[in-house]
A and B are shown apart, each in its own frame.
Chain A
Amino acid sequence: MSAEALATSATQTNAWEPKIIAFCCNWCSYGGADSAGMGRFQQPASARIIRVMCSGRIDPLHVFNAFLEGADAVLVTGCHIGDCHYVNGNDKTKIKYKYLENVVHELGIEKERLQLNWISASEGEKFANFIRDVTAQIKKLGPSPLKPEGVA
């Protein structure tokens, strides 16, 4: 079976669709998501991308917000280290991410639910694989413990 078909059938066997929020920087990882589409790399329809100009814009508060609104996973993505369009935004992201990881862990959220990945504008396949992998991991884990009642 092709990877595409696998992804499709995987989503069919388990009807629950996790809610994934992916923060992408405009210049690299958002472009990576675009390339994924352009290359027709199929991926489960579980993720919603929130575009920011640079991963450095991502405030830990936004991540908490996402979890509190019922996200089953939050992805922090940006350019590869050294490639940030704004010199070093992603270095700052890395630092913030360390802190975030700790807090989120303390809140009792599994580590799979918060992930960091550097994806360049040409790495479409990588982006699609990332979404596919995260979706599979989260499906195993089930809904987030922080999910407010009434949110699917």
Chain B
Amino acid sequence: MDNNTKTIGAAVVVGGGIAGMQASLDLASSGIKVYLVETKPSIGGVMAQLDKTFPTNDCAMCTMAPRLVEISSHKNIELISLAEVESVKGEAGNFTVTVKKRPRYVDEKKCTGCGSCLAVCPVGKAKAAQDGKERKIKPIPDEYNEGLSTRPAVSIPFPQAIPNKAFIDNRYCLYINGGKCGNCKKACKADAIEFDQKEQIFELNVGAIMVTPGYELFDIGSKPEYGSGKFENVLTALRFERILSASGPYQGKVLRPSDKKIPKKLAFIQCVGSRDHERDYCSAVCCMYATKEALIAKEHLGDQLEIDILYMDIRAYGKGFEEYYQRAQKLGVNYIRCRVPDIEEKPDTKNLVIHYLSENDKKVTREYDMIILSTGLLAPKSAKQISSTLGITLNEYNFCNTGPFTPVNSSREGIFVAGPFTEPKDVPETVIQASGAASKALSLLCGSRGTLIKEKEYPSEKDITGQEARIGVFICHCGKNIGGVANVPEVVKYASTLPSVVHAEDNLYMCSSDAIDKIKQKIEEHHLNRVVVASCTPRTHEPLFKNTIREAGLNEYLFEMANIREHCTWAHMHEPEAATKKAKGLVQMAVAKSKLLEPLYRQFVPINQDCLVIGGGIAGMTAAKEVADKGFLVHLVEKEAQLGGNARKLHYLIDGANPQDYLNDLIKTVNNHENIRVHTASPIESLNGSIGKFKTVINNAGNKQEIEHGAVILATGGIEHKPSEYMYGKNKRVMTQLELEDKLVNDPKFKAPECVVMIQCVESRNDDRPYCSRICCASAVKNALKIKEKYPDAGVYVLYRDMRTFGFLEGYYTKARQKGIVFSIYDKDRKPELIESKNGNLTVRYFDSTMQENIEIDSDYVVLSTPVIPRPENKELASLLKVPLDQNKFFLEAHIKLRPVDFATDGIFLCGLAHYPKSIKDSIAQAGAAAARASTILSKKFIETEGAISVVDEAKCIGCGTCVNVCPYNAPALEEVTVTVEEVTYKTKKSRINPAACKGCGSCAAACPAGAITAQHFSSREIREVIDAFDKGVRGVSIEKSIVEVMV
């Protein structure tokens, strides 16, 4: 579109799963009005149904709930549930989107989500009627529990649902289907039931469209060999996930459906509905979710539960996955490589019997109590319809088409896509792609940013001066995470006896929107002026609760958290008593501190809207371009003399695309972009400051330059490991995959080989480097295919441990086998050997576990698939930026699932190989994501500073200047003042702390010899009070008495 046309500063997001939520939040916090259209009654997608997430076993609902709450309370996100897009007219920058909203039969404005209607709805319940007449009403399977429980016709999908409103299913409602009943209408005190609601059709005017409809799971009904879903104890993995969940059908007890008995032997069958003839792709997540479910089931049942995972390849290719897989093996999960042709059900016991051929070709028969099918991901059912209404193209499996260098662009301009709709993928990649898609929309709409949005408003703050402390304590069960170990009701009871506590209560998930509303309600009801939440870590959840009390009119600093999950129930899982006691102690300490909390205020400081991008590879350049496209000035610094990074060594991609063309275009764009300043050969000398006001000094051959900027994107890349094994470096015919690629394209002396052997996982997935490098399997397949293309007669062998060609890469693996490339498994403990004969011939000898014998292959070239390793200078850079590295020395993001490009430190973002090995396409998506995240900061004019800062008590200050010396931010300064004491007036120096410069570390308070400095929120008084409260009274039954006893 031409630049003179005004774009519309709004976007519609189609699909409210984790991708849609991320895109919505990124857009809305960068000044774009968002309409989030979801077909279901609630947003949340599949992640809302998960119990835990791999590879950290983090509680899914807990990481997600704050986002659900943020969306529901966001001023600039309008959530339209039960709705679909009917048609799209117009063009990028100005679309007219027609939306059809189905009736909810409940007035969303009036419904409070109290659930009274659910209790009185007769449908689907055992006793249907009291009039004696029998009604044939089929139970309604509860979708949230995957049909393992039932629900009434009026329901709220799950406790944390957003919107948290009832929904009447018109397929089952008696009133809608015949005018009888109406119980819910009678029971609803809010008068919210509206049986006469009609379908609504309306138009939205937006500049961009984000498509994130998610995926469908493979239906086991079409697998007769596995019982077509008729065997009661054969479950899909998602059903099993619901069984594991505390909010699931059996309250988190692991039981088998047929007789509700505890299973003793359980098996997972992998690749059900993927990697087969109809679907030649890998679903990318099943290996890890099976591992996760196995671990959780073991966590619940301990060693009495035997678990086998029956697999083809374990694809543990993502960050932390391989380590997770290793851990599962250590904890006793058996991984068996085999294929299972069918399952038989024993009619009497409902046990299940399978036969398979083991790796060494032996017939094995096994019986299980329960079998879990790891079903694959399909394109959403709505894919075809979406494709025709939006005018975007799909691939052969009905997933949305994207290009090798345009991971978030659909085939129609202005329509961006993210999540499993483009390819099966896990949560972090979905989040990354969603932010990447948001980035594209933000660039497109940069001219109209901020035109359609409203600022968030809080109620005026309650004045609590002079009031006695009135503390409310809210204790979270966190599903089973806390409540499954500690006795939460007992902790509540205990909390309510603590001095100044006027209210204590528990909730299944304290961070869910209904619980949040309840906290606000209780603040009003009990005139609370301090709030304590005992749940998980403040590092993730404190902002949410601070915001909650602010919305209830309390100053956000009147809040304290007790971490009874990470520090208690998770750390003492097998000691319920000790955990309960400790939880009480932690609550008591938090209550003790909260009594002393004071209201504190933040300052507004203008920010610098420029951005620094470190690293001039594909990731860095893409990030720079994307930030610059949004109208911000970018400094791109690269320590080498040339831009391009690792991509300079790539000549072709697996799909045939040419990365050099893309790279050269990108370099040209970056060099000519009016908003980008390129600094090559300019290593960073120093980097100081914080979000909104960083100062960086770069050094170009002695020429130093200071750059001021508001955000940082770190894209420093990684390097290909050069191995010491297999005569590498000693024999010219032994090379890495990158070297082979270069030779295949550029080396005129490269002689046509008769035979090439590739060895996978060289010096990776071992003790030194436990991680999987993610891209080597695909590189091997790519280069093997290239060899076959150039030298059709050459024999190519790939010796591997697991072929990790996830997602659509699987198709190339299949193609490679069809082309006659031989793939052979080797065992970790029996690595292939390389022998050089006297005449210089190379022979690879390995043990083939299928044939159970040693095989020797004479080879012209031996190609080693070595991992991408972190750059050695990461350490230095990490301490410059004050950001952490992970165990493998890659950079560690803020949260592995939901904040994959953020650092815990505000204003610094991450992308590319510096984060973890990844393909060009993934690097580009992540670079876009980093740009979108950075722009949520850069698009603001001000940031709020920390309110918990240090202050000087002038009367006590002796003007010694110690604080001036210890502060790294130059916040305190000595000022001359005139003091009058007992009629003597004199001039002296006193320290003053600049509130805008202070970061609140508290070092000055600890150093002040006169005790004149208070580190607010962490004052010595508060700390003393907390120490004092350590376990006081927790031991005895009579709390009052024991307090007296313990007092010194």
Contact = CB atoms under 8 A, between A and B. Distances in A.
Contacts of B57: 38, 40
Nearest to B538: A51
B1045 A69 contact: no
Contact of A36 (B58, B566, B1015, B1047): B566
Given A38-B57, A66-B1027, A121-B904, A83 B884 contact: yes
B258 interface: no
Given A59-B1006, A121-B892, A65 B1027 contact: yes
Contacts of A59: 1005-1006, 1020, 1023
Interface string A59-71: 1011001101111
A129 interface: no
Given A37-B567, A69-B1028, A83 B539 contact: no
11 contacts: A11-B575, A19-B1030, A31-B539, A33-B571, A40-B299, A43-B571, A43-B572, A48-B1031, A51-B538, A87-B882, A92-B1003
**Which 8 A-B residue pairings sit nearest by Cβ, starting from the closest?**
A37-B566, A57-B1002, A56-B1003, A37-B570, A87-B968, A86-B1001, A54-B1001, A45-B578
B574 A57 contact: no
Given A19-B1030, A85-B882, A8 B574 contact: yes
Contact of B575 (A45, A49, A69): A45
Contacts of B882: 27, 83-85, 87
A122 B885 CA distance: 8
Interface string B552-579: 0000000000010111101111110011
A21 B567 contact: no
Contacts of A152: 1031, 1035, 1046
A28 B892 CA distance: 12
A85 B905 contact: yes
B1002 A56 contact: yes
A83 B1006 CA distance: 19
A73 interface: no
A30 B567 CA distance: 9
Given A8-B574, A53-B1018, A69 B1001 contact: no
A92 B905 contact: no
B904 A48 contact: no
Interface string B995-1036: 000011111011100000001001010011011101100010
Contacts of B1007: 92
A44 B615 CA distance: 45
Contacts of A71: 1027, 1030
Interface stretch (B580-588, B847-855, B914-922): B580-588
**Residue of A33, A48, A66, A69 ringed by the most chain B CB atoms within 10 A:** A48
A88 interface: yes
Contact of B571 (A36, A83, A92): A36
Interface string A13-37: 0000101010000111011011111
Given A50-B1027, A88-B968, A11 B566 contact: no
Interface string B614-653: 0000000000000000000000000000000000000000
Interface string B862-891: 000000000000000011001011110000
Given A21-B1030, A40-B57, A34 B581 contact: no
Interface of A: 4, 8, 11, 17, 19, 21, 26-28, 30-31, 33-45, 48-54, 56-59, 61-62, 65-66, 68-71, 82-89, 92, 96, 120-122, 128, 148-152
Interface string B671-690: 00000000000000000000
B1003 A62 contact: no
A62 B968 CA distance: 23
Given A48-B589, A56-B1006, 4 more contacts: A38-B56, A43-B571, A45-B568, A151-B1048
A149 to B, nearest CB: 8
A53 B1001 CA distance: 5
B73 interface: no
Contacts of A68: 1048
Nearest to A131: B571
A28 B539 CA distance: 11
A6 B585 CA distance: 24
A83 B878 contact: yes
Contacts of B905: 27, 85
B444 to A, nearest CB: 36
B222 interface: no
Contacts of B565: 37
Interface of A is mostly: loop
Nearest to A59: B1006
Contact of B1031 (A19, A65, A87): A19
Contacts of A37: 537, 565-568, 570-571
B966 interface: yes
Contacts of A33: 566-567, 571
A27 B1046 contact: no
B810 to A, nearest CB: 31
B539 A26 contact: yes
Contacts of A70: 1030, 1048
B1001 A56 contact: yes
Interface string B54-75: 0011100000000000000000
B931 to A, nearest CB: 25
A122 B320 CA distance: 12
Contacts of A19: 1030-1031
Nearest to B581: A45
Nearest to A41: B571
Given A71-B1027, A88-B968, A150 B1045 contact: yes
Nearest to A31: B539
B539 A34 contact: yes
B66 to A, nearest CB: 16
Contacts of B1003: 54, 56-57, 86, 89, 92
Contacts of B1002: 52-54, 56-57
**Residue of B566, B573, B582, B968 ringed by the most chain A CB atoms within 10 A:** B566
Given A30-B539, A122-B886, A38 B1006 contact: no
Contacts of A11: 575, 578
A37 B57 CA distance: 10
A36 B1026 CA distance: 23
A69 B1029 CA distance: 9
B796 to A, nearest CB: 39
A58 B1007 CA distance: 9
Contacts of A54: 1001-1003
Contacts of B1048: 68-70, 148-151
A123 B169 CA distance: 49
B578 A49 contact: no
Contacts of B1030: 19, 21, 48, 69-71
Nearest to B887: A122
Nearest to B1008: A59
Contacts of A42: 571-574
A36 B1000 CA distance: 26
B1005 A57 contact: yes
Nearest to B572: A45
B541 to A, nearest CB: 11
B566 A38 contact: yes
A54 B1002 CA distance: 7
Contacts of A66: 1027
Nearest to B878: A83
Interface string B509-543: 00000000000000000000000000001110000
Interface string B956-989: 0000000000101100000000000000000000
Contact of A57 (B572, B573, B575, B1018): B1018
**Residue of A34, A35, A36 ringed by the most chain B CB atoms within 10 A:** A34
Nearest to A20: B1030
A86 B892 contact: no
B1006 A58 contact: yes
**Residue of B884, B886, B968 ringed by the most chain A CB atoms within 10 A:** B884
A17 to B, nearest CB: 8
Contacts of A30: 537, 539
